[in-house]
Amino acid sequence: GISEQTFYRWRKQYGGLRTNQAKRLKDLERENARLKKLVAELNLDKSILEEAVR
């Protein structure tokens, strides 16, 4: 099972959402994390290329 604290945190966070809304929120959070990682990788590539030009 899950801890009581986790249950109440989830209930507070997702309590007003319908199932499809909660799924959509999770999908968007996952996509946001993927895009943040991609931006970080591209920034690193850019920094490496800028350093190589110098």
Place of tokens 């350093």: 51
Distance between CA atoms of 37 and 29, rounded to whole angstroms? 12
Q: Is the full-model pTM beyond 0.85?
A: no
Q: What is the domain range of residue 41? A: 4-53
Q: Is 23 exposed, middle or buried, given 0-12, 13-18 or 19+ CB atoms closer than 10 A?
A: exposed
Structure confidence at residue 9 (pLDDT): 93
Distance between CA atoms of 33 and 51, rounded to whole angstroms? 27
For residue 16, pLDDT over 90 is answered with no
Place of tokens 């591209």: 42
For residue 53, pLDDT over 90 is answered with yes
Distance between CA atoms of 10 and 16, rounded to whole angstroms? 11
Residue 3, SS3 per DSSP: coil
Give residue-wise pLDDT tens across range 33-51.
999 999 999 999 999 999 9
For residue 17, pLDDT over 90 is answered with no
Please give the tally of structural domains in the chain: 1
